[in-house]
Structure 1
Amino acid sequence: MTAGAAATAPACARIRGNDYTALAPPALGSWTPSLTVSVVVPAYNGQRKLDLVLAGLAAQTYPAELIEVVVVDNGSDPPLRLGPIRPELTRLITCESPGRPSARNAGLAAATGDVIHWLDSDVVPARQAVEAHMRWHHLAPYLVVASYLRFTSAEPPAPEVVAETADLAALFEPAEPHQWLIDLLERTGGLVEDPHRAFSLHVGGATSVNARLLRRTGPMDVDLVLGQDTELGYRLAQAGAVFVPDPEAVGYHLGPSMRMRDKAPIDRVSHAFIADRIPSYRWLRSHPGRSWKVPYVQVTVEADAGYDAVRATVDAVLAGTIPDVAVEIIGPWDTLVPERRAPLTDPDLDLVLIRGHYAHEGRVRLRAFSEQSFAPYHLRVPAGWVPGEDSVARLLDLAREQGYGLVNVLLAETAEGVTAARLERTAAFSRAVIVAGEGEDLDDAVEDVFGVLWVDGGAYDFTPAAEAPPITGRRSAYRARQEAAAEVARLTREAERLREQVTRWRDEAGKWRKSAVEFRRELGAARKELAAAKKAAQTQQRTGGPAKLAATLKRALSRGSEEK
């Protein structure tokens, strides 16, 4: 890499939503890096491919002293070895627990870099791939960067050829693009227009993550059979990550991916597991009433308002049109000792009643303090305020569709102050913690990175418990509207599909019409030529035809001989 200006950014850049285009990464080869990177390569067998990957890493434009490579042998037989062409700071460790998540976690534990770069053992990085990733990480500490993979069926060259070739396209092209990634970017406006799906970018083939962000998020989930990369990407999103696709970071996948070979069975397996862990994939949670490991919304209610107020609020939340909720009731449960002889005189009687009432409700947790949750939304409701049947659902729709990081619900305003409920987007507050200055109110930082809105509680059917109607549990009106909206969306998609089909038919018909016109033109010309030929033949027949012509030629030849 040539010497140049160091990559610089504000103290901590504030990216709104997933709009990474607000950052301006330096041109490749024009800047001076300082961050270290650990390239973690989990591997099982495939020595020949691993040798090519290490050769590609040995030829990177990013400074060699800033790159360490951790190869994790996940039970290969025979054991893997490090080829002679590799980066100087390369280590080989072993992981006996089978599975790529375990191997990656072992590599993560051994890594020392500022950035963790996942790289599969069958992906050969182009010469500037690591540099392309790292220029982004110098601009903000909460980025996830992904390469553009190309899938090649070319005969693998020797490692020394990879290390000596400046442009790997000469070795591996033609290659197929990563069509799944291209489709995702097209559907989401490059991940900027739909930040809710941005985390799907996190695939392990060639992705880099800020190490501190990754360690705050936690390691890969080893209980998953498939879909571990996507699940970790989802948790990274809740931790505040911004996801960046970089077309200048290129990697060549040696052969087709497993998903390209077996998409349908892979989806069947992965969806069965990630549905429990990724609430943002709403289509995987079509059941109308069941609960999940990670809820769509975490609701917090303080227990100090008393049993009746807490029950009114919690029961209303549980009866709402969004069953995909978990409620935490905050109180001193660890120190609570019920009065057995004279329970009615117990000063903590209301706490005892709350605990007794919800002890066996699976969607309610009794906690001493609000715990970290990877639910995408967190609703804080003052006890004694009752949301309507579809209040929570409508707030969630508002926050999701408009992209707000915080929706404040004004419940009451008195001389003593304002009472409000708060719907917080987990990703927004996680990012606010990262970017906020010392002493800065987190809500102000959330305003910068996602936006804040105030709404009237009455407009969203929040009422005091004393005025709230009985809970019916019908979950009817909102569901009917949702079903109608879903049907309209389905019909709209079908109409669009039919319009596209008609357009294709029209294009094809136009091509056929053009071909027919050209055919008629050629047929007309052929008929004219045939008529002219017939006419010439008739003329020849009338004037003596070929015999007369032959006689003429014979006389001409005879004269020529005599003259000679």
Structure 2
Amino acid sequence: TGVGVSSGQVVLRLDADMLVYREHVESQMRWHHQADYTVVMGHKLFVDFDPSALVPEYVYEEVAAGRADRLFDRDSADPHWVERFIARTDRLRSAGHEGFKVYVGATGSLHRSLFDAAGGMAPELVLGGDSEFGHRLAQRGAVFVPDEDTSSWHLGRSQMQEQRNAGTRYRSPYVSNRVPDFHLRRKRPDRQWEVPLVDVVLDVAERTLEEVDTTASALLGGSTPDLRLWMVGSWSRLHDGRRSPLQEESLDLRLIHETFRGDPRVRFVEEPPETDPRVPFRLYMEAGPPTSSDALAELIRACDSSGAGLLCAPLPGALRAKEGVLRLERVAAFERARHLAPEAEGEKLDRLVEEVYGIHWTPATDIVVASGPEEAELEGVKGSSEEPEESVERLRARLEQATVRGDRMRRRAERAERKLRWFTPGLTRRILRRIAR
């Protein structure tokens, strides 16, 4: 409400029980002259407060004279837990994707344009709103800056200091539903939440039911069910008119839709959807590869450990094919890049992400279950020189992989034959007559 009726370029939020030093506001404003995507956190110390011990007129005179630091005993004051986090991460330089966690209210400022872009505070969150807003700010590419050149006194203890268990119990479901990186949410990896951890954009165009089922079922049934799956295909081609059930052109598309329409995590779209800025990751891949149960977890872990804004994982057997690369985007990195260069697209946008966050390449050999034909041949050559005798288990696994590939290719051939008959009725008979002549 206060921000809504204000007009300044910078929004600085102070709790009503804060007593700030004389230079507190000025010190934070200096950062916003440098960049419009910084979120500045002011320093504070918690002190016991007796309203009858200090009269407002005396406090005013001391602050105006630059003696605010003498109003309370600094040695007996309690630092906030964020101070330890800031110190442990080299003043947030090494905090990575966890930097937003320091945004827990009391004193902090940001540019109005960033406040508006992130959507402002969520009024439905009576408690925990700062943490949720900090997440949305981070997703918009914000840089969190601790300003320690001045300080302030928090008059009294915080609610979480005095009623930690009750406060955590209340906040946990509200924040968990909206912040994928909330630490208490990670204790329930089997749950699905309002804001997923990752949006998977799966290209199912020109793919068979079996290919799509192989990839989609592995993702949906994996160790990271906290996802939203967007299937991109020509769904408008499906109709309820007369058709040949087993030979229609869009047979596989129809079967794919019927197979997955009951899963609330699956969406059917004609084009890749607009980026949801609340969701931390966005994975692009084509249907076909059978991913491991930990595929999403491994990709996200690799992206977080490298701190990269974009992770690329070439599939075995398709190292040089652009379409054979799993592409995991960190939404915060792309949002910051778009903010810095709104006109950048495609490879130019990737280059900017590489500059501000970095790009990490990793093989997808541990992400997919079965290797492609080219990789299988390479493994066979390697086995002839380094592994003269393969185990029964390995041979059985390779046989199963080859069987899956053979079945997949046979189904694709059948699909191509159906399309040929659909588009060129009578063509097969004409060709056979010519051969017979």
TM more than 0.5: yes
Q: Does residue 423 in structure 1 map to residue 328 in structure 2?
A: yes
Alignment of 1:230-245 (within 5 A): 230-245=131-146
Q: Which residue of 1 aligns with 2:213?
A: 311
Compute the TM-score of the two structures, normalised by the length of structure 1: 0.59
Report the alpha carbon displacement of residue 272 of structure 1 after superposing the two structures with TM.
2.5
Report the alpha carbon displacement of residue 279 of structure 1 after superposing the two structures with TM.
1.6
- The structure with higher relative contact order (CA 8 Å, sep 6+) is 2
Give 3-state SS (helix, strand or coil) of 2:304's partner: helix
CA separation in 2, counterparts of 1:115 and 1:321?
43
Cα offsets for 1:39-63 (capped at 9, x unmatched): xxxxxxxxxxxxxxxxxxxxxxxxx
Using a 3 Å threshold, how does the CA distance of structure 1 residues 257 and 165 change in structure 2: closer, same or farther?
farther
Using a 3 Å threshold, how does the CA distance of structure 1 residues 359 and 261 change in structure 2: closer, same or farther?
same
Choose which of 122, 130, 139 in structure 1 pairs with 2:25.
130
Report the alpha carbon displacement of residue 463 of structure 1 after superposing the two structures with TM.
4.7
Alignment of 1:88-487 (within 5 A): 106-152=1-47, 153=49, 155-159=53-57, 161-162=59-60, 164-174=64-74, 176-308=77-209, 309-331=211-233, 335=236, 338-342=239-243, 344=245, 347-368=249-270, 369-373=272-276, 374-411=278-315, 413=318, 419-436=324-341, 438-439=343-344, 441-461=348-368, 463=370
Q: Which moved more, 1:453-462 or 1:144-153?
A: 453-462
Report the alpha carbon displacement of residue 435 of structure 1 after superposing the two structures with TM.
2.2
Report the alpha carbon displacement of residue 136 of structure 1 after superposing the two structures with TM.
0.8
Q: Amino acid of the residue matched to residue 450 of structure 1?
A: Y
Q: Which residue of 1 aligns with 2:389?
A: none
Give 3-state SS (helix, strand or coil) of 1:190's partner: coil
Give 3-state SS (helix, strand or coil) of 2:324's partner: strand
Question: Which segments of 5 or more consecutive residues in structure 2 lack a partner in the other structure?
Answer: 374-400, 405-437
Using a 3 Å threshold, how does the CA distance of structure 1 residues 420 and 267 change in structure 2: closer, same or farther?
same
Using a 3 Å threshold, how does the CA distance of structure 1 residues 415 and 168 change in structure 2: closer, same or farther?
closer
Using a 3 Å threshold, how does the CA distance of structure 1 residues 182 and 288 change in structure 2: closer, same or farther?
closer
Q: Amino acid of the residue matched to residue 65 of structure 2?
A: T
Give 3-state SS (helix, strand or coil) of 1:386's partner: coil
Using a 3 Å threshold, how does the CA distance of structure 1 residues 380 and 156 change in structure 2: closer, same or farther?
farther
CA separation in 2, counterparts of 1:128 and 1:255?
22
Check whether the contact 1:295–1:375 (CA below 8 A) recurs between aligned residues. Answer: yes
CA separation in 2, counterparts of 1:233 and 1:469?
50
Cα offsets for 1:362-402 (capped at 9, x unmatched): 22122354233222221111122332222222221111112
CA separation in 1, counterparts of 2:321 and 2:172?
50
CA separation in 2, counterparts of 1:469 and 1:272?
46
Q: Amino acid of the residue matched to residue 460 of structure 1?
A: I
Give 3-state SS (helix, strand or coil) of 2:325's partner: strand
Q: Which residue of 2 aligns with 1:24?
A: none
- The number of residue pairs the alignment matches comes to 364
Q: Amino acid of the residue matched to residue 264 of structure 1?
A: N
Check whether the contact 1:305–1:384 (CA below 8 A) recurs between aligned residues. Answer: no
CA separation in 2, counterparts of 1:107 and 1:230?
19
CA separation in 1, counterparts of 2:402 and 2:12?
54
Cα offsets for 1:232-279 (capped at 9, x unmatched): 101111111111111124222222222222122111211232122222
Give 3-state SS (helix, strand or coil) of 2:109's partner: strand
Cα offsets for 1:266-309 (capped at 9, x unmatched): 11211232122222135533335221112222211124233523
Using a 3 Å threshold, how does the CA distance of structure 1 residues 336 and 207 change in structure 2: closer, same or farther?
farther
Q: Which residue of 1 aligns with 2:418?
A: none
Using a 3 Å threshold, how does the CA distance of structure 1 residues 363 and 112 change in structure 2: closer, same or farther?
same
Give 3-state SS (helix, strand or coil) of 2:305's partner: helix
Cα offsets for 1:94-119 (capped at 9, x unmatched): xxxxxxxxxxxx22322322221111
Q: Amino acid of the residue matched to residue 169 of structure 1?
A: D
Q: Amino acid of the residue matched to residue 458 of structure 1?
A: T
Report the alpha carbon displacement of residue 167 of structure 1 after superposing the two structures with TM.
2.5
Report the alpha carbon displacement of residue 330 of structure 1 after superposing the two structures with TM.
2.7
Report the alpha carbon displacement of residue 456 of structure 1 after superposing the two structures with TM.
2.5
Alignment of 1:546-561 (within 5 A): none
Q: Amino acid of the residue matched to residue 314 of structure 1?
A: A
Q: Amino acid of the residue matched to residue 311 of structure 1?
A: D
Percent of paired sites with the same residue? 32
Question: Which segments of 5 or more consecutive residues in structure 1 lack a partner in the other structure?
Answer: 1-105, 471-564
CA separation in 2, counterparts of 1:419 and 1:151?
55
Using a 3 Å threshold, how does the CA distance of structure 1 residues 362 and 158 change in structure 2: closer, same or farther?
same
* Bigger Rg, which one: 1
CA separation in 1, counterparts of 2:140 and 2:320?
37
Compute the TM-score of the two structures, normalised by the length of structure 2: 0.75
Q: Amino acid of the residue matched to residue 273 of structure 1?
A: Y
Q: Which moved more, 1:147-156 or 1:254-263?
A: 147-156
